[in-house]
Structure 1
Amino acid sequence: MDFQTSVKTCLTEKYMDFSGRASRSEFWWFMLAYIIGALVVSLFPLLPLIYALGMFLPLLAVGFRRMHDTGRPGWYFLIPSIYNLLVRIFGFGRYELDPQTGMPLEAPSVGGAILGAILGIVGLVIAIIFIWWLTRPSEPDANEYGAPPAA
C-alpha cells in the first residue's frame, strides 16, 4: 500500500473501523501523514486541537487493526497512552518553577528522583515493545481478526 492509498483508506473507507487487519504499510504511511499534518498545523493557534480531535478515531482505528494483524487484541494499542496518563496523574511529585528563570525552586527528593527514573525506564520498555510489535510482519494466514490485508 502506498502513501496516498493508506491515507485515503484510513480517512474515508475505514475512519472508525476497528475490525479487521491493517498492513504495516497502511499503518506506518498513515502515521507519517499524521505526523506531517501535526507539524504543519502546529504553526497555527487552535488548529492542533482541532486536528488532534479529528484524527483521534482514525489513528486509534488503524492502531487497533494493526495490532489485530499481528495477532494481538486491538485494545493493546491503548496501553502506552493509559500508562502515560497514569504517570501524569499519579506521578512522582510536582514542583514549582521560578517565573523569572523557569528553573525549579527546589530539587526533587531522592525517592522522587528514583521513582521518576523507574517510571521513565518502564515507559521506555513499553515504547520499545510496541515499536517491535507494530513493525512485525503480518501473520501470513487468516487469524481470529480476519484474512490478511492486501499489501
Structure 2
Amino acid sequence: MNFMQAIQSCLTQYATFTGRAPRSEFWWFFLFQILVVIVSSLLGEMVYSVVVLLLLLPALAVGTRRLHDVGRSGWWQLLMLTGIGYLVLLFWWVQPSAAQANSFGEAPAA
C-alpha cells in the first residue's frame, strides 16, 4: 500500500473499528498525520485544534485495525493514557501481521 492509498483507506474508513490494517497503511497514515499537524500548527492555534480533532477518530480507528492485525484488541490503545504504555503499543504496531484469523473473526490481511 502506498502513501495515497493508505490515506484514502483510512479516511474512507473514518470510524471503522472492525477489520485489519497492514503495517504500511498504519505507518503511512501516521506520517500523514504528523505532516498535516505540523502544517496546521503553522497556520494558527484554531486550525491546529480543528485538524487534531478531525484526525483523532481515524487515528484511533486505524490503530484499532492495526492491533487486530497482530491479534490484539483495540481496547489496548487505552495504554496511551499511561504514557509509558505508548511503548508497548509501538512494539505491537511494528510487528508483522498475524498469518491466521484472530479472535475478532477477521481474515488475515493480504
- Give TM-score scaled by structure 2 length: 0.92
Q: Deviations over 1:22-43 (max 9, x none)?
A: 1111100000000010111010
What is residue 41 of structure 1 aligned with on the other side? 40
What is residue 142 of structure 1 aligned with on the other side? 101
- C-alpha distance in structure 2 between counterparts of 1:53 and 1:127, whole Å: 20
1:143 Cα deviation after fit: 1.5
1:149 Cα deviation after fit: 2.2
- Give the unaligned 5+ runs of structure 1: 85-122
Cα RMSD (Å) of the superposition?
A: 1.1
Higher helix share: 2
Aligned-pair identity (%): 43
- Give TM-score scaled by structure 1 length: 0.68
Is the radius of gyration larger for structure 1 or structure 2? 1
Q: Deviations over 1:9-29 (max 9, x none)?
A: 0012x1100011111111000
Off by >3 Å, runs of 4+ in structure 1? none
Taking the TM superposition and a 5 Å limit, the aligned residue runs for 1:70-89 are 70-80=70-80, 82-84=81-83
Q: Is the 8 A contact 2:79 2:86 kept in 1?
A: no
Q: Is 2:68 aligned against 1:68?
A: yes
- Give the unaligned 5+ runs of structure 2: none
What is residue 106 of structure 1 aligned with on the other side? none
Q: How many residues align?
A: 108
1:139 Cα deviation after fit: 0.3
One-letter amino acid of the structure 2 residue matched with residue 149 of structure 1: A
